[in-house]
Amino acid sequence: MNQALYDRLRAEQEKYKRWLLSQPPEEILNHTYEYTVREDILLLFENNELPDKQADALLRHGTSLADLYKSFGQIDTGYMETLQNLIENEANDLIAEEEKLRAAPVYYQSAQYARENGELEQYRESHKANIACKEAIQTAIANHHHDNWLDPAGAKEVTDKFGFQRTFLVLANTVRLKDWDQRFSRSNREWAGTVFLPAGKSPMGTDRNTSFCVESHSTLVDGFIDQAREQYLLSQPLSRRQLEAEADRITRILRKTQAPNSPSGTHFMAALSPRFLQRASTKDIETLQRLIPFKTLELSALKDRNGVFAMISNKESRHQAISKSSALDKLKQPARVKPQRQKKLQEPER
């Protein structure tokens, strides 16, 4: 009875297939899902035997593949949920792999050293991450280079994902492997020489470091290096020397200015360096205010002007000598800040 049932259903499927093949391509596409499910039903009959009572019932009632397919369509099979789970699992696997690469410490020793010291797994994970970083750089350059301009967002994507340490290792490796290429700036070639690289030579003379050499156009890679180095610089806290240098620059400008230059004509003013502001914390701003030796000093944004300005009253003497002791006293005093603004800045002068 099982064989008789299978033969009848197979004949029905062959007839359906001949009809389907006679249809236009668009109509065939409309029936591909149905055809596939019917094939799967046949496969079940081919590989599994029903109890005689069940096979007999299907034979007597003339149950067809079309009937079984229709019944299948009425069942909540969880098919979409299965697809959703598949998509989520695939995405989670990719995320886990990315996180594993991001978390892998940079390994600076050679493969031979790793083998001799039981650290081969660390070497392999780091090497794999270096290659992934190289590929991410190439993708970032391709995606962010438009109209002869390289968007720095590409460099940020890579450094956010792999960190500055690995990104710099891959970029410095690229420059040093292409030491003949004058399209890399002198500054970047000198910088690359300061970055410590893992030994890449194998006993057979092969340089494994070539596997994470960026193959994008050298001019674009050079620009990418500039952007990555700039982003690293801006991420670093200001040193005491840099704070003092900015305070000295502002002080000299305020003393040198011949006439009040604020919009209202009541103050002398000098703009803080944009690069300084990008890196400065609230504490840095407070320290800067203490280092600039004027009693009426205020930091203010100005309406219709970009930036932040150091301002002093035009009535304050700007040329008196500032003794070391008074400068130290000034540093011990709290900064005069009236703000309700970020980084404790004055409201814009109107």
What pLDDT, on a 0 to 100 scale, did the predictor assign at position 60? 83
Q: What's the half-sphere exposure (Cβ side, CA atoms, 13 Å) at 109?
A: 14
DSSP conformation letters of 48-114:
-PPPHHHHHHHHHTT--HHHHHHHHHTS---HHHHHHHHHHHHHHHHHHHHHHHHHSPP--S-HHHH
Per-residue burial over 114-128, b = 16 or more CB atoms within 10 Å of its CB, e = otherwise:
beeeeeeebbebbbb
Mean pLDDT of all residues in 300-307: 89
Buried-exposed string 19-44: b where 16+ CB fall within 10 A, e elsewhere: eeeeeeeeeeeeeeebeeebeebbee
Which residue bears the tokens 């994902």?
161
Among 60-74, 255-269, 312-326, the range with the most confident prediction by mean pLDDT is 255-269
Phi, psi of 201 (to 5 degrees): -70, 130
CB atoms within 10 A of CB 59: 14
Mean pLDDT score, 25-29: 94
pLDDT in tens, 87-118: 888 888 878 887 887 788 999 988 888 889 99
Q: What pLDDT shows up at residue 293?
A: 92
Q: Residue 181 is encoded by which pair of tokens?
A: 């290429």
Q: Is the pLDDT of residue 340 over 70?
A: no
Helix (H, G, I), strand (E, B) or coil at 259: coil
Q: Is the pLDDT of residue 260 over 90?
A: yes
pLDDT score recorded for residue 200: 67
Q: What percentage of the chain exceeds 90 in pLDDT?
A: 61
Rounded alpha-carbon distances, angstroms, from residue 125 to 136, 160, 177, 307: 16, 19, 22, 45
Nearest of 136, 135, 114, 112 to residue 123 by alpha carbon: 114
Position of tokens 């002398």? 268
> What's the rounded mean pLDDT across residues 316-340?
54
Q: Which two tokens stand for residue 309?
A: 């300005």
Residues composing the chain: 350
Please tell me which residue, 64 or 202, carries the higher pLDDT value: 64
Q: Which two tokens stand for residue 337?
A: 């800040």
Mean pLDDT of 214-237: 95
Task: Indicate the pTM of the whole model.
Answer: 0.61
Handedness of CA 103, 109, 110, 115 (dihedral sign): negative
343 pLDDT tier (thresholds 50, 70, 90): very low
pLDDT in tens, 119-160: 999 999 999 999 999 999 999 999 999 999 999 999 999 999
Q: Which two tokens stand for residue 57?
A: 């019932």
Write down the mean pLDDT value for the chain.
87
CA distance 225 to 227: 5
295: left (phi over 0), alpha (psi -120 to 50) or beta: alpha
Residue 219's pLDDT band (cuts 50, 70, 90): very high
pLDDT for res 20: 94
Quick: pLDDT tens for 37-93. 899 989 988 888 888 888 888 888 888 889 888 888 877 666 667 767 778 888 888
